[in-house]
Structure 1
Amino acid sequence: MRRALLVSVVAVVAVAAAVAGLFAYFADKALSDQAEKEKECCWAEGATPEWMSKVIGVRVPESAEDRRVGYKIGTRYDTGLLAFTLSSEEAGEYLVALNPGGAVTIDNLHPRPKDYKPDAPFARLGLPEPETIVKGMRLGGLCPGDVDSPEGRDTNHCVDIFAHEFKPGTTRIYLRSTIEPGVSPLPSPITSGS
């Protein structure tokens, strides 16, 4: 009798564990699929470097070339992306003006793996993810009130700054800002999947 009861209990526990495992698997898959869909969804069309510069409150030098921009509408927060190139000398001056309280940009000592895909990727702009680059990459950041230079005096949101000297004498500046939802007005209606 005890043996039959023990076998029954073991069977019930095994079935419960299997059901819980299946539930966890399918729940995780659904969340993962949703996260992947969200990475491809909800990019605002019509965002310009000038508009993004005003939204995040960081000045882009007039001499900046190859300006690229993206604005992703998220469920918890929006993300603004802005990238441009400068001569390495001008990039150095620009970064000094954005360093809060005498801080300096640092080397990327802990790069992300090459397959790293943030929620709002610079790959959308045809660029590599700056977090994956080591050689020639510098990292920094600022938040509202951190600097009093024309470059960042009007900063509205915290900004991650990446500077990559991708060829001798030319540096690409990457700016990524997390923004509270509801920035208004958006440049144009959002698109799904574009």
Structure 2
Amino acid sequence: MRRAGLVGCVVGVAALLGGCSGAGGGRDIRDAPSWEEGATVESVAQTLRVHVPPTATDARAAHQKGFQDDGLILAFVVPAGEVDGFLGQLRPERPLRLREQPWAAEGKPATPFARLGLPEPESLANVREGQVCAPCGDELEWLKVAVAPVDDRSSRVYLRGAD
């Protein structure tokens, strides 16, 4: 009797462990976040519901397929005089705040601008930044913007969102 109880216990534990091992639908390595090849400035801008100004230069974008949400990053340079007009079309929830000093390195963002060969806006000084929307409606979960001066005549706009 005691042996039958022990066998039953071992079978039960094995069944539980088998159910947790992923054999029946757990995550696969193919589900890991990955960068989508072929993402374009136009496709990312469309997903973020943003109109890139025709005067924008050095536009770069990337789309990361995630476990639940996709990460989207978009950056471009515009003449300094056009920044406020661009920000006006975004209609941020609150006025952007000016951060005069870089943030101390606290961690690595899930969708780093380093993917585009750019510094993180958090590592720069004199950056205007803020939340555009969260939630944004439709498929877009949230959108953030940061604007950093490149020189006296131009600024780089950084957009990061999730859908």
Q: TM above 0.5, one fold?
A: yes
CA distance in 2: counterparts of 1:115 and 1:145, whole angstroms: 25
- Native 8 Å contact 1:122 1:128 kept in 2: yes
CA distance in 2: counterparts of 1:109 and 1:83, whole angstroms: 20
- Native 8 Å contact 1:145 1:155 kept in 2: no
Q: Which has the higher contact order (CA 8 A, sep 6+)?
A: 1
For the residue of structure 1 that corresponds to 2:150, the secondary structure is: strand
Matched with 2:27 is none
Matched with 1:52 is 44
1:72 aligns with 2:56: no
- Native 8 Å contact 1:58 1:155 kept in 2: no
Could you say if the C-alpha distance between residues 114 and 167 of structure 1 is closer, same or farther in structure 2, counting changes exceeding 3 Å? farther
| Letter matched to residue 61 of structure 2 | V
- Stretches of 4+ moved more than 6 A in 1? none
Could you say if the C-alpha distance between residues 89 and 155 of structure 1 is closer, same or farther in structure 2, counting changes exceeding 3 Å? farther
Residue 62 of structure 1 and its aligned partner are, at CA, apart by 1.3
Match of 1:119 among 87, 106, 110: 110
Could you say if the C-alpha distance between residues 119 and 78 of structure 1 is closer, same or farther in structure 2, counting changes exceeding 3 Å? same
Note the alpha carbon deviations across 1:1-48, whole angstroms, 9 max, x for none.
xxxxxxxxxxxxxxxxxxxxxxxxxxxxxxxxxxxxx6xx51001111
Could you say if the C-alpha distance between residues 77 and 93 of structure 1 is closer, same or farther in structure 2, counting changes exceeding 3 Å? same
Could you say if the C-alpha distance between residues 93 and 69 of structure 1 is closer, same or farther in structure 2, counting changes exceeding 3 Å? same
1:139 aligns with 2:123: no
Match of 2:145 among 161, 180, 185: 161
Aligned pairs for 1:2-41 (under 5 A) are none
- Native 8 Å contact 1:56 1:155 kept in 2: no
Equivalences, count: 132
- Native 8 Å contact 2:140 2:162 kept in 1: no
TM-score where L is the length of structure 1: 0.60
For the residue of structure 1 that corresponds to 2:62, the secondary structure is: strand
Residue 167 of structure 1 and its aligned partner are, at CA, apart by 1.0
| Letter matched to residue 130 of structure 2 | G
* Aligned-pair identity (%): 33
Could you say if the C-alpha distance between residues 82 and 76 of structure 1 is closer, same or farther in structure 2, counting changes exceeding 3 Å? same
- Aligned-residue CA RMSD in angstroms? 2.6
| Letter matched to residue 133 of structure 1 | L
Gaps (5+ residues) in structure 2?
1-31
TM-score where L is the length of structure 2: 0.70
CA distance in 1: counterparts of 2:92 and 2:109, whole angstroms: 25
Matched with 2:84 is 92
- Native 8 Å contact 2:44 2:74 kept in 1: yes
Residue 156 of structure 1 and its aligned partner are, at CA, apart by 3.8
Q: Say which structure is richer in helix.
A: 1
